[in-house]
Amino acid sequence: MEPERNKKNKKRAIRLSKLYSFSCFKSRFNDEHSRIGQLGFNRVVYCNDPDEGEANGRVYGDNYVSTTKYTALNFVLKSLAEQFRRVANAYFVVVACVSFSPLAPYTAVSVLAPLVVVIGATMAKEAVEDWKRKKQDIEANNREVQAYNRNVKAFVKTKWKQLRVGNVLKVHKDEYFPADLLLLSSSSEDGICYVETSNLDGETNLKVKHSLEATSSLHGDALFQDFKAVVKCEDPNERLYSFVGTLYLDDKQYPLSVQQLLLRDSKLRNTEYAYGMVIFTGHDTKVMQNATAPPSKRSRTERTMDKIIYLLFGILFVMGFVGSVYFGIETRRDDIDGKLRRWYLRPDAATVLFDPKRASLAAVFHFLSALMLYGYLIPISLYISIEIVKVAQSIFINQDRDMYYEETDRPACARTSNLIEELGQVYTILSDKTGTLTCNSMEFVKCCIAGTAYGQGMTEVEIALANGIASPCLRSVASGLHEEVESVCAVKGYNFKDERLMNGNWVKEANPMVIENFLLALALCHTAIPDVHEDSGEISYEAESPDEAVFVIAARELGFQFYRRTQTTTSLYELDYKSRERINREYELLHVLEFSSSRKRMSVILRSEENQLLLFSKGADSVMFERLSEAGRRFEAETKECIRRYAEAGLRTLVVAYRELCHEEYKHWEVEFAEASNSVTADRNALVDSVANKIEKDLILLGATAVEDKLQKGVPECIDKLFKAGIKIWVLTGDKMETAINIGYACGLLRQGMKNIEISLDLPEINALEKLGNKGAVTKASLENVKKQISDAVSQITAAKGNSSSFGLIIDGTSLSFALDKYLEKSFLKLALSCESVLCCRSSPKQKALVTRLVKIGTGKTTLAIGDGANDVGMLQEADIGVGISGMEGMQAVMASDYAIAQFRFLERLLLVHGHWCYRRITMMICYFFYKNITFGLTLFWFEYHASFSAKPAYNDWYMSSYNVFFTSLPVIALGVFDQDVSARLCLKYPLLYHEGVQNKLFRWRRILGWMSYGAISSIIIFFLTTAAISTESFRKDGQVPDISVLGTTMYSSVVWTVNCQMALTINYFTLIQHVVVWGSIIFWYVFLIVYGYVPPRISTTAYHVLVEACAPSPKYWLVTLLVTVSALLPYFTYRAVQTWFRPMYHDIIRNKEIDDSDTRSSPTREGTRA
């Protein structure tokens, strides 16, 4: 080992392009390159000379990026257009316009003022949110990067927004790429650089990019003074994983591919610097081309609220129509054959609005006036109040310390407030497994070598199974073993304990040579890069997957330390089993045959110091066992049994094998492989795989590895609580069925005593058809088989309905693809909904999204999807609510989500506490809004009836305008922000409470209409009791009877008292703020009356001195207000008393139970005191 070697020089020594893993990706001319210059492939970039490109008419956009919704020029118009999409706002604008006409029953200003307040507040909120996005844009656009300036012959700091197509940039380690760049060269001699793309696809594993050989020698800044080239490539598009272009340099053409493209917002890692040429800027970059707006999601509550608004409009039109017909009839009767019936109205000198001779026209005009007058049925401040409440509730979620994950310093994040109440109505959760239920932090725990199982201790799955079915003694032993192994786990990724292999003891085993080759395979068969810390000399590994890093670490801990990789060699410190000494060995690295989803394996070919040609291979058991030679199957049965046990324990397994190659065979193969690699045909990859298969044969089995991806803390407890809350849970995973089943038991998704229904196509008859190669027959047979399995399962569940049996459904990916067929999906959904738990194994990202859509549409209820990786984005966006886990796989899932949490267990608090509170608050708030507006609005209608529908309002103009804005708005907002029916502790203690939301008990039409009917009853009590109490007797000390100003003020006072006292009855959890706003609203009404009463009568009209001179001195005013308020509240008080006693709601039951438990606990204390 050379620990003193400079890290930078070490990096430069790695010419990885010599390896097949990278050289096989060298760009070749293919059919796509022939399209350069055609439609879609017209971009021409002049490298290092942007001015020449513009001179030739190639003017492209700058690198300025804007993600804002508005601009300074369009904000007002665009924001107003957004506001008027809401039918209620549009209605009030029309009313405000008509209020300038003689038809208006009130002044125009009294209508415009509240409208301006409400719409202005909403626009201010939009402006604040957009300004936050603007600040983020400003920060990004003003970052700096080094761009080459030919005038000063050096790289100078340049702001991102000033970059132009054709600029040459120098990006340093850990810096982000400011635009889409063509990689020219890097600090590595062969132009290799490492890129992290977690901002793009959520993957934290490093990607390798390499430049063309023609430009890889550009290592000095001075070399770019005379460097010029032209690139012709595809036009801007959203395809992240493809790029087609041609580089013209020194009269030669070089094909370009995605391997040379560095995408904006990806980060340079493990490379000191990289030179790149700007290809796409600003909104032309691929990441911005992909930045489409997420799907618009609206909550079911909001959609129901729209229907209520339409219902109120219907009531409004009916009231206006009835009143106008009555008014027309009465007006026509005012002048019959010259006889004036209501002579005091002077119908003989009336305008068209009251002319008996034109009664029909007067009725039409009255209808328009009535639509304006009864408009107070529509709550003008409803939308803005709900938005304020939702934003406040989002802040509470963001600041909840119980959902803060200290280890990664990540709090919960509500990325949208639109769906806040939906969190309390979730019916189905669809969850990813790896990284969501598990940590996605792999640990090497067990292995099987030469048929012998190594590794002590028990996995979490084994402990869960033992806890479910074993005796208490065995459970104690299991937990003790697990804790013992945990205590020795001091190396990240390595949790292996077995004295037979540790500390070099493996040389004493029966098959030391097999063990040596097994450990060599782990140390050599990979593409990891060692990273030596400059100060401590410690080695860490950068690998393309967590599994790969774990294997290298395990080999190191067991005596085979990989410490250096050069352009053609791999160096190890290894323990020689013959001499039992630690020696330094170097292997010549000839080829790396990379892992792919189709190959399901990876191999390396090396030459040892003894000139042996060795091939090490590792891969899935499904492809490895068939490649073993007859002599190499010595331990096959024992290894298969170990793999089965490992799968049952929830472990991820790989089979390890090797062979020694004949020199002559290798020479022939290498020639054939080179021809396939250099092929420019469309099936080049297939040719390469075919040739690789020829060398990956006749292998000798060494053993198998077992890696554990541990469950996150608190997952089983969380799932148990969610089950008790009435939520169905589906897990969609890519694991094999055995692993998924046992993980299901470990996390509590499957339970002992639950009957499992397995739907799989891993059947002899299907396998036989597949071997015949008849795809049509396989498809037909598979479809019929899945149909039969689903039908049998439904029959089984139907037959067990009388019992208390519960079922779990497990289906593999192949069967799932048929179950999602349009002819089977309804049957499949029926079966799945009859089961408590559903496990979908071997699921692709597309299948996850399709299953989510099926559940969402098929149930018609709220679905929540939760995941942590880029492969979960489709599922998150398809669900009603998407929750992203900010875990190990980057931020792609979080960026596509509606809510983000750091651990799955936080979902329990997010739903059972915040979800329940938010659902209850929002629904109660909406019901109360309609109640208070109907209570107020219908008093206007009853007064109209009392006044022959003359379109004369009962109240002063500013009374009506201030009702929703000043006297009743703050209490309802306080209800929506602070109210709690039970505490957070009780929400978690009694998950049953969540059923209120799942069953939508608080926002059913029956409940909505009940509140609306209660508002109508309250309006009747208020109007008729008030008029009966004060209209026929003297009101003042001087004997004057009440006029319309006194009647209106008394009735309005009763309304304000009633709706605010009703709020006090509705609130479950009083805070100081709620006391202030409820009682303060009533006090403010009287303050308003006094202040407004001193305004000149030209403005205050009927309110002039009405309180000070008329109402306040009269005891009757206060007595009537008290009597009417109590009478109006009595129906609700009676209803709640009866409901609490005879048909209590869930929260009533829980509160009563807590009171009883508290009394029970305190009884012994009281008895002891008496004694």
Cα–Cα distance for residue pair 672/65, rounded to 1 Å: 49
749 is written with which tokens? 């998704």
Residue given tokens 């290798």 in the structure block: 666
Cβ atoms of residues 110 and 131 within 8 Å? no
Cα–Cα distance for residue pair 138/159, rounded to 1 Å: 11
- Burial-class residue 157 by CB neighbours within 10 Å (0-12, 13-18, 19+): exposed
Exactly one of 432, 868, 872, 880 is catalytic; which is it? 432
β partners of residue 255: 246
21 is written with which tokens? 């893993």
450 is written with which tokens? 């030469």
Q: Which three-class secondary structure string do you get for 815-857? A: HHHHHCCCCCHHHHHHHHHCCCEEEECCCCHHHHHHHHHHHHH
Cα–Cα distance for residue pair 315/223, rounded to 1 Å: 80
Cβ atoms of residues 604 and 616 within 8 Å? yes
CB burial of 120-153 (b: ≥16 within 10 Å; e: otherwise) equals eebbeebeeebeeebeebeebbeeebbbbeeeee
CA distances from 968 to 960, 981, 1009, 1021 (A): 12, 21, 21, 19
- Of 336, 384, 494, 517, the closest CA to residue 116 belongs to 384
CB burial of 227-255 (b: ≥16 within 10 Å; e: otherwise) equals bebbbbbbebeeebeebbbbbebeeeebb
CB burial of 400-416 (b: ≥16 within 10 Å; e: otherwise) equals beebbbeeeebbbbbbe
User: Which residues lie below 8 Å from residue 40, measured CB to CB, with a gap of 6+?
Assistant: 234, 235, 237
DSSP assignment string, 46-88: EET-HHHHHHTT-----S-----S--TTTHHHHHHHHHTTSHH
Residue given tokens 């804005």 in the structure block: 965
CA distances from 384 to 380, 917, 1002, 1094 (A): 9, 20, 22, 31
β partners of residue 520: none
Whether 683 is catalytic is no
Cα–Cα distance for residue pair 1078/1082, rounded to 1 Å: 7
β partners of residue 262: 181
Cα–Cα distance for residue pair 529/546, rounded to 1 Å: 13
Cα–Cα distance for residue pair 33/47, rounded to 1 Å: 19
Cα–Cα distance for residue pair 840/847, rounded to 1 Å: 9
DSSP assignment string, 277-318: EEEE-GGGSHHHHT-PPPPP---HHHHHHHHHHHHHHHHHHH
Cβ atoms of residues 1129 and 1065 within 8 Å? yes
Residue given tokens 């008996």 in the structure block: 356
46 is written with which tokens? 């002049």
Cα–Cα distance for residue pair 1054/874, rounded to 1 Å: 54
Ramachandran area for residue 451 (φ above 0: left; ψ -120 to 50: alpha; else beta) = left
- Of 432, 306, 424, the closest CA to residue 861 belongs to 424
Residues carrying an active site annotation: 432
